[in-house]
Amino acid sequence: MARGYQDLPFWKGYKGGTKGEFWISFDNSKTFKKFLSLNGIISWPIIINNRVYFLYDNDGKSNLYSVNLDGSELRQHTFLEYCRNASSDGKLIVFQHKGDLYLFNPQKDELRKLDISIFTDRKKRKPHFVSTFDYITDGKIGNEYLAIVSRGKVFIMKPFEGPAYQLGEKQGVKYYSIQVTPDGKVIATNDKRELLILSLDGEKKINVNLGRIESMKISPDGKKLLVSNNKLELWLVELDSGNAKLIDKSEYGIITEMDWHPNSEWFAYSFPEGPYTRSIKLGNVSGKIIRITSPYGDDFSPSFDPDGRYLYFLSVRHLDPTADKVIFNMSFQKAIKPYLVTLANVYSPFNQPLEEIKDKKEIEIEGIQDRVIPFPVDEDVYVKIEGAKGNKVFLLTFPVKGNLSQDETLGKLLVYDLDNESLDTYLENVRFFSLSLDKSKILVQLKDGVRLFDVSTKPDLNAQGKKGGVVDLSRVKVLVDPEKEWKQMLSEAWELIKENYWNEKRLNNWDEVINKYLPLVDRISTRFELADLINEMQGEAKTSHSYQYVYSYETDDPLFTYGLGAEVKFENGCFKITRIYKGDPTNENERSPLRDPGVQLEEGDCIVSIDGESITYRQIEYYLMNKENVTLDVITKDGKKRRVYVRLLKNEKYLLYRDWVERNREYVHEKTNNKVGYIHIPDMMFQGFAEFYRLFVSEFDKEGLIVDARFNRGGFISGLILSRLLLKRQGEVVSRNRKPIPEPYMSSPPKLVEVVNEYAGSDGDIFTYLFKKYKLGVVIGKRTWGGVIGISLRHTLADRTVVTQPEHAVHFYEIGLQIENQGVEPDIEVDIPPGEKRDLQLDKAIEMISGK
């Protein structure tokens, strides 16, 4: 049997902790012994004629190999690119390779490709229409025309009436960023890295090559364009001539936010000054640059007043800490405030003199750094500010909300009136907004549609049509041709790795990769197969974290099977309850419905019917499919008949997880006489942070602590957890009527042990390495996964699928990049053989921390 391996077509040449190993039993599965481990993924073991055949990824090429039953005499039988999914009838072996099935005959050592013809209409490849609203990724309003991007296609229309026209190429090209000119043309960029002017007359290419364009902003006169790219540069492009001038370049981040002064000569942008700092800079088309704010804060979202008097921006400057309600810590939950800069040396709108003073609209550079004024409003979680006509300033803010929620977080759009210095709610349930070129109209995407309003009027969401600002998107017909779109998506995923891979010198022969995979698009028939093909193509980078998160496989919604939070056994025409999972009954979704008030069933009780249907099928899932509530007829273990009404769990994973954690914690407490605590960290994200502190608050005052990082899915908060563990106990606070409390408060105990396995990876790798590096304690278990090239989630394909590229390589001073494709070795290796019911790794941790 194969253990500890993952099918990783998106990471070829993998050699980390989950590369797999083979175990074998010679006594009908009573005992197993490890007999094969190679320097790469081994999978799909098949025994034929006293040899074990399997697939082996040997440095990026997966082929069929075999060994004797003792693991000796390794032989390679195929010499193809990447074989997958081997299976056998006991005589012959079949596997997949590049969309074909191959058959291998071990007796003859013979390989042949199977010629298979399946007569199907390949329905999923046929052109079809999709929802315009579901796939909107950009929207801009000019002075008269509205343009949107949906499913990578550009459409232009009048806001409230008339037809919508698709601009540019109809199929096979993805447009992803647009601007609208004063005369109704659309500036767009596409997946070919082209900058284009689109109109009803066709498209005109602007002859510049600026790399992968990240964002852009057109000047009010429609003649100039600010462009930022993935090389961290900001360019100024003259649309008529195509001349391009490099304005600025950061060493830390992409320049994504910029705006134009109404005179089209000056512009402002947010400039990344450091890993976590940004300043506001003022630039001129001549190339002159002035830093307005210091490089030591976080200043963003610059926007000019349409009359040219002020520059608005948001800043994280006013830090007023709030106490955390669970852990001993402080945080800045609402730290963002709007600011303005008076562009001329005049009074701010918040400090006007009695006499009327004529507005000055020129920009006076001298002393401009001293003319930064905060708005007289409270801090909040502002994300965007824009100045509008009529002395209005729009602010988009989002609520402070827990990150474990699955619900979409929608914002509140506020409007500040400079004339009467008031802040009011303009709209709620907002996703994003943008202003027209002249800043007299506001385009808003709500949860259920797109609206366009005059900035001087109060929106009426109950009204329909133009009065309610409703943009009728049914005029936009988005036709998708999968044959062309799939080729474009595969090509773009390839291009994104080429553009963003962390070290281009290590991306060997990448130009050849697309030619290998693009012809295979003609072989696939479904969106799922495209995802598999993209995985294989990205796997050629031979690096971790080349992922994709598919928005929709375009299949029918599955039927949910709800759960009882229990194990049952079919026995004599009933389902006997053999185990009821016990989580934390006070937490939502962490208690078995069988233990709900009024139900209170016990292990040993027998379910004889469900919703009046006698038990005839052996699988209980049949009776629970697509049901949220059921009626159970039960015979209790003492012979009584009961009828109970049960509200099922939609997802049992939280209950099963809590049951596992609590059993481990109780076991550690029992074995150590309550002297040692236990914590499990499921990931290095929001759930992992919550789980760590959920347990830490009750375990930190013990003599020792076992930190279980097995199955840790990675993330980005290992430093937060390590900082708590590094705060070591140095004493205690003694009071008259209570037990001593560790000092510093909530510091970690003197003895720590980490338990880890091959399924802990990414930030779980980093956590384990630093746990050892900081000498926090002994690490017990198996070598970790071994993937530490970080990613961002900013790139989406035409169908909203997120694709990631290995962008940020974690190097440590002593070992460099050695964790990547290797993992972190434990101090003491402990495996759990197949069939072993004891947790040998946890037992060893208890032994070590107890000093035995």
- Element holding 455 (H helix, E strand): none
Residue 341 belongs to a domain:
yes
- Domain end point (choices 321, 343, 378): 378
Cα–chain center distance at 574: 44
Report the alpha-carbon distance of residue 446 to residue 453 in Å, rounded. Answer: 13
What does the alpha-carbon distance between residue 793 and residue 770 come to, in Å, rounded to a whole number? Answer: 26
CA distance to 8, 126, 549, 797, 799, per residue, from 552 (Å)? 21, 17, 9, 12, 8
Q: Where do we find the tokens 């599955």? A: 558
The verdict on 22 and 104 lying in the same domain is yes
Exactly one of 214, 492, 590, 820 is catalytic; which is it? 820
What does the DSSP 8-state code read for residue 309?
S
DSSP result, 176-233: EEEEE-TTS-EEEEETTS-EEEEETTEEEEE----SSEEEEEE-TTSSEEEEEETTSE
What are the CB-based long-range contacts (under 8 Å, 24+) for 615-622?
Answer: 615/570, 615/573, 615/574, 615/575, 616/573, 618/570, 620/564, 620/568, 620/570, 620/575, 621/561
Q: What CATH number is attached to the domain comprising 295?
A: 2.130.10.10
Same domain, 637 and 681: no
The amino acid present at 560, given as its one-letter code, is F
**Residue 417 placed within a domain:** no
Beta-strand pair 704-708/676-680: parallel
Residue of 177, 544, 592, 762 marked catalytic: 762
Tell me, yes or no, if 161 is annotated catalytic.
no
Segments of the chain scoring below 50 in pLDDT = none
The answer to whether the CB of 338 falls within 8 A of the CB of 374 is: yes
Residue 545 maps to a domain: no
Separation CA 559–CA 205 (nearest Å): 49
Active site residue 762: yes
Distance (Å, whole) CA 364 – CA 280: 16
CB 569 within 8 A of CB 554: no
Q: What is the CATH number of the domain that holds 109?
A: 2.120.10.60
Segments forming the whole domain that contains residue 573: 566-649
Q: Indicate if 606 and 693 belong to the same structural domain.
A: no
89 plus 22 within the same structural domain: yes
What pLDDT was estimated at residue 247? 98
Which phi and psi angles does 766 have, rounded to 5°? -65, -45
How many Å apart are CA 225 and CA 222, to the nearest integer? Answer: 8
H helix or E strand, kind and range, residue 809: strand 808-809
Judged on CB neighbours under 10 Å (0-12, 13-18, 19+), 813 is exposed
Residues 102 and 243 in one domain: no
How many other C-beta atoms are found inside a 10 Å radius of the C-beta of residue 595? Answer: 17
How many Å separate Cα 19 from the centre of its chain? 25
Gap between the Cα atoms of 581 and 591, Å rounded: 7
Which has the closest alpha carbon to 722: 764, 678, 665? 764
Q: Please state, in angstroms and rounded to a whole number, the distance separating the CA atoms of residues 174 and 478.
A: 13
With CA atoms as reference, report the closest residue to 290 among 276, 279, 302, 305: 279
CA distances to 153, 179, 224, 431, 765 from 216, in Å: 18, 8, 10, 20, 38
Output the furthest CA–CA distance in the chain (Å, rounded).
102
pTM exceeding 0.85: yes
Report the CATH number that the domain containing residue 533 is assigned in CATH.
Answer: 3.30.750.44
Q: What is the 3-state secondary structure (H, E, C) of 106-129?
A: CCCCEEEECCCCCCCCCHHHCCEE
Give the neighbor-by-neighbor strand order of the sheet with 164-167.
136-141, 146-150, 153-157, 164-167
Q: Note the pLDDT of residue 557.
A: 83
In a shared domain, residues 593 and 699: no
| 606-610/574-580 β-pairing | antiparallel
687 and 642 both lie in a single domain: no
Do 743 and 837 have their domain in common?
yes
520 phi and psi angles, rounded to 5 deg: -75, -15
State the number of CA atoms in the 13 A half-sphere of 363 facing the CB.
23
Tell me if 199 is assigned to some domain.
no
Beta strands at 372-374 and 336-342: parallel, antiparallel or unpaired? antiparallel
- pLDDT attached to residue 359: 74
Burial of 621 (0-12, 13-18, 19+ CB in 10 A): exposed
What is the SS3 assignment for 689?
Answer: helix
Residue 168 inside a domain? The answer is no
- Contact yes or no for 567/578 (Cβ under 8 A): yes
- Is 558 domain-assigned? no
The pLDDT value given to residue 852: 67
Total domains in the chain come to: 5
pLDDT tens per residue, range 95-142: 999 989 999 999 999 999 999 988 888 999 999 999 999 999 999 999
Residue 593 near residue 565, CB atoms below 8 Å: yes
Are 534 and 570 members of one domain? Answer: no
Tell me if 368 sits within 8 A of 282, measured CB to CB.
yes
Q: Does residue 35 lie in a domain region?
A: yes
Final residue belonging to a domain, choices 634, 649, 664: 649
Task: State which of 96, 113, 130 marks the end of a domain.
Answer: 113
631 shares its domain with 699: no
Active-site position among 97, 545, 680, 795 = 545
Shared domain for 837 and 742, answered yes or no, is yes
Euclidean distance between CA atoms 314 and 336, whole angstroms: 7
Identify residue 819 by its one-letter amino acid code.
I
Q: Is residue 157 part of a domain?
A: no
Indicate whether 628 and 682 sit together in one domain: no
CA distances from 195 to 128, 176, 213 (A): 28, 11, 9
Token pair 């290998």 is at which residue? 516
- Which residue has tokens 């900082």? 723
What is the distance of C-alpha 751 from the center of its chain?
35
Q: At 57, is the secondary structure helix, strand, or coil? A: strand
Q: What's the pLDDT at 387?
A: 98
| Phi, psi for residue 632 in degrees, rounded to 5 | -110, 130
> Residue 820 catalytic?
yes
Place of tokens 């001087």: 456
Spatial contact of 678 and 651, defined as CB atoms under 8 Å apart: no
- Please tell me the predicted confidence (pLDDT) of residue 318: 84
Half-sphere exposure of 238 (CA within 13 A, CB side): 9
List 433's β-bridge partners, or say none.
Answer: 444
Q: What pLDDT is stored for residue 317 in this prediction?
A: 86
CATH number at residue 732: 3.90.226.10
Could you tell me where the beta strands, DSSP code E, fall in 343-457?
A: 372-374, 382-388, 392-397, 411-417, 422-435, 441-446, 449-454
**What is residue 594's DSSP assignment?**
G
Cis ω on the peptide bond leading into residue 744 (within 30° of 0)? yes
341 within 8 A of 350, measured Cβ to Cβ: no
Q: Report the DSSP beta bridge partners of residue 755.
A: 708, 780
Nearest to 824 by CA among 815, 813, 837: 815
